[in-house]
Structure 1
Amino acid sequence: MAASPGALRRAGNEEFRRGQYGPAAALYTRALQQLEASGDAAAEERSVLLANRAACHLKDGACSLCVADCTSALELAPFGIKPLLRRAAAYEALERYPLAYVDYKTALQVDCSVQAAHDGVNSVLYPFTLFPDQTAAGIERARTLKEEGNELVKKGNHKKAVEKYSESLKLNQECATYTNRALCYLTLKQYKDAAQDCTEALKLDPKNVKALYRRAQAFKELKDYKSSISDIKSLLKTEPKNTAALRLLQELNRA
């Protein structure tokens, strides 16, 4: 009988405590795949697993993977302290000090007693001054603009949302903003623009599921079926049970 996601998570925690970060990450990945395969939408549990795997990546020095997992964790459970701190530490290691600063400050807004966040803010303040073109205020403004774009999407105003996302991207090139704008471009039938945005997102996060899926959609509409199939197959390596991707692959094979 296969181990449950909970059992895999506990086994992963034990490996992590022993300093076996690669095996721990593999166990967390198996737990995530099981939740995906069963259709279990337990956002909080998936967020914890992603944050745990992010800690493994951080320990192994895979900072970009840590950032990607923390971002996914925060999408599922916003304002989680652990993913905020781990992403901040990864950004700091990547010398993306303004982004680290914002995450540390956000963690303090959630819980002002977190000493690691206080220490983090102080540790990035000096190198922060070396990047005058990217300020914390600019990063926060970019996030506000992205959220305004998200609200416009909910209202069906995709053209105006594109403007908000474009303003946001001038201040901070973030994967989610690119994939959000790509969704708008798909709705507006601007398929080349959608594909380009997904490509930019994949430069930041090479395994991003939304970027791969939306670029595959764009390529399909552009009748570039080979590239579309390639993106779907790449996506399925990360999420083999992704029903939307499997459905699109069936359509492409019939095309």
Structure 2
Amino acid sequence: MAASSSIPGPQPVSKAALEAKLAEFDNIPLFMKSLPTDDTEDVALAALQSLAHDGTPDEVAGNFKEQGNEYFKGKRYREALGFYTQGVDAKPDDPVLHEALLCNRAACNLELKNFGSVLRDCSKALTLNPKSSKAFYRSASALVALDRVEEALDCCDRCLAFDVENKGVLQLRERAVKVKAEKDRREREKAERLRKEQEAQRRLDIAFRERNLISLPKADGSSNPYAPHFDPEDPTGSTLIIPVFFLYPQHATSDVIPEFVEDTPFALHLQAMFPPQAPAPEWDRKGEYVDGQLVVYAMTHRKRLLKVGKKMSLRDVCKAAKAKEGEKRDGLEVKDGCVTFVVVPKGEVEAKWVEEFKKTREA
């Protein structure tokens, strides 16, 4: 019976080791992606450098162009870009060759999404040849990518004026037309939204003035999701809905009524929030907040204190907040989209709070 072989098979190589091995190839002249521009003591490298730059500017540029083409075919656009750049830097005398290098470099930058570089090279190419279809095509492609579709269409039309049947340009123009149509649609919708928002704000401003509501600038970082608006269920479109804060000062807490219809009496909200049969809120340990035992106060912009009657609606309070004849404008403040009212138990708590408010106003 033959002895079993112990010869090991191929061993796996780590990713780091593999990358190190591949990097070594960059130092072997035959496998170099591009030649170093600095002087070198390596005889083989020095010979390759000399060979690459040996000849007339057109010959040198042509060699770099061919090398760039090979890398471009392999979709190695960055390496191709380097060779085309060296070709341009060789300053060829042949305008056709110079134009080709610029257009080819633009093609690389188009793939790499360097659209500004595409436009610069194509502009130079068109200076050399005003009828460069490739330069027009690549310019238009970059402009479409930058959403500058009107300019892209202009490029296509200029090209088609002398190259009528250029399929690539025709297809690109068709695409640009579709992009422009979509862009125009978005802009129309945006303009219509803006118009409606401005109209809604104008109507709201008028409604505020009619109701003696004074809107304060929003605080930085304010994220209140509520905002005054007209009641969509009102066919006349004249009833205002305003978010309202109820503050309970002795407990440093509050409630928000996000949609307080201006014609609704305050009593209805108090009945719903503090019914006598329901358990008291957690923060009301003394059980003081019960409908029938509460009073509501409004504070105007000029620090007047208005006591809100049970049957009064928000619209009624707005009317009561109006300044007297000959006095400066006054009204209820709308801060961060809300109007604030204070709710306190009748009696001692109410008297204490009113006294503290008057001291604050006088300070």
Q: Greater share of helix residues, 1 or 2? A: 1
TM tier, smaller: 0.3 to 0.5
TM-score by length of 2: 0.34
Structure with the higher fraction of residues in strand conformation:
2
